[in-house]
């Protein structure tokens, strides 16, 4: 086993380009999947049976399936359906990036639904009653008390999910997107050095992963400081 520093240095530009794609996918999916998950979590917790049922099925499928299959299903599978082919959005589904964002957002939002649900249920009933007894409307209790507290409760779980999912974006190379893993792979096929590109890419992932951890740590401290003052 040998690590070639010269090759590592030479590969940096390509790998960093790949890392940029990884980050772009990650943040786009967080931006799309977050609100999507929030919306579905309302359905999941709804008192209307069909809505709740839809939410449960959504979570089952989106969380239970590997993102790679969701990705194939959307990138290759939808192309076969006439409604999609003839629909107005067809030009979007031809783009790998668009399909990646949809597939991973489905997966990511599935986790968010459960995190939100856990957080909402953990909010002490006493707090909600206190809010109501102060004359807040049910809507105000929901938006001003329950959701903000649920988000704080869920933050730790969300951090874990976000970090796991950032790493899982390595699968996007399967649909021709050149992310960090794909970039490392390309260098391997050019040089047949099995260690240098992969270890270097691993180091970059490691840095991103820990940067996310630190970022979430700061965010949590900020939210909790606010909570402490309130």
Partner 1 sequence: MELLAFGDTGYGDELFFGALTTIQLAVFGYVLALALGLVFAVLALKGKGPRWWLFRVYASIFTGVPSLLIIFLFYFGGAELVRSLLAPIGINVRLDVSPFTAGVAALGLVYAAYLGDLIRSAIINVPRGQFEACEALSVPRRHMWLSVVLPQAFRIALPGLVNTWIVLLKDTALVSLAGLNDLIANAKVAAGSTKEPFVFFTAALLFFVVIATVTLPLVNRVARRLERGQRRAEV
At 192, give phi and psi (nearest 5°). 55, 25
Helix (H, G, I), strand (E, B) or coil at 26: helix
Residue 40 to residue 113: CA distance in whole angstroms: 6
Taking the C-alpha atoms of residue 228 and residue 222, their distance in angstroms, rounded to an integer, is: 10
The contact mask relative to partner 1 for 72-111 (x = CB under 8 A, - = no) is xx--xxxxxx------------------------------
> With respect to partner 1, which residue has the nearer C-beta, 43 or 65?
65
Measured CA to CA, the distance from residue 57 to residue 48 in angstroms comes to 14
Cα gap 4→193, rounded to integer Å? 9
63 is a site residue for partner 1 (CB under 8 A): yes
The C-alpha angle with vertex 217 and arms to 211 and 223, in degrees rounded to 5, equals 140
Q: Which stretch binds partner 1 (CB under 8 A): 6-14, 94-102, 165-173, 218-226?
A: 165-173
Query: Interhelix angle for 147-168 vs 5-45, to 10°?
Result: 140
Contact call for residue 112 and partner 1 (CB under 8 A):
no
Residue 55 to residue 38: CA distance in whole angstroms? 11
Q: List the one residue from 32, 51, 65, 157 that touches partner 1 (CB under 8 A).
A: 65
**Among candidate residues 205, 99, 110, the one with its CA nearest the CA of residue 158:** 110
Kindly state whether residue 185 participates in binding partner 1, applying the rule CB under 8 A: yes
Please report whether residue 69 would count as binding partner 1 according to CB under 8 A: yes
Does 23 bind partner 1 (CB under 8 A)? Our answer is no
The answer to the question of residue 122 lying near partner 1 (CB under 8 A) is no
Task: Give the contacts of 41 (CB within 8 A, at least 6 positions apart).
Answer: 55, 112, 113, 116, 117, 120
Stretch near partner 1 under the rule CB under 8 A, chosen from 27-35, 90-98, 126-134, 180-188 = 180-188
Stretches 9-17, 144-152, 187-195, 222-230: which one binds partner 1 (CB under 8 A)? 187-195
Total interface residues for partner 1 by CB under 8 A: 41
Q: Is 198 in the site for partner 1 (CB under 8 A)?
A: yes
Among 30, 101, 112, 171, binds partner 1 (CB under 8 A): 171
**60 contacts partner 1 (rule: CB under 8 A):** yes
Using CB under 8 A, list all residues that contact partner 1.
Answer: 1, 60-61, 63-70, 72-73, 76-81, 164, 167-171, 173-174, 181, 184-185, 188, 194-195, 198-199, 201-202, 205-206, 209-210
């Amino acid at each position: 086993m040998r690590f070639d520093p010269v090759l590592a240095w030479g590969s940096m530009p390509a790998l960093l380009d790949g890392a940029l794609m990884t980050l772009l996918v990650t943040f786009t999916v967080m931006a799309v999947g977050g609100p999507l998950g929030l919306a579905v979590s309302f359905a999941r917790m709804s008192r209307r049976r069909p809505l709740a049922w839809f939410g449960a099925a959504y979570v089952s499928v989106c969380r239970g399936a590997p993102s790679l299959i969701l990705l194939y299903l959307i990138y290759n599978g939808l192309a076969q359906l006439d409604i999609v082919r003839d629909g107005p959005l067809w030009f979007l589904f031809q783009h790998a990036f668009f399909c990646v964002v949809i597939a991973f957002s489905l997966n990511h939002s599935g986790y968010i639904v459960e995190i939100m649900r856990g957080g909402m249920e953990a909010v002490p009933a006493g707090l909600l009653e206190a809010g109501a007894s102060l004359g807040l409307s049910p809507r105000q209790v929901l938006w001003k008390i329950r959701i903000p507290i649920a988000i704080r409760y869920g933050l730790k779980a969300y951090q874990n999910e976000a970090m796991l999912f950032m790493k899982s974006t390595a699968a996007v190379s399967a649909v021709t997107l050149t992310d960090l893993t794909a970039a490392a792979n390309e260098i391997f096929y050019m040089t047949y050095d099995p260690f240098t590109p992969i270890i270097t890419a691993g180091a970059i992932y490691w840095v991103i992963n820990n940067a996310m951890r630190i970022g979430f740590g700061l965010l949590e401290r900020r939210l909790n400081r606010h909570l402490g003052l309130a």
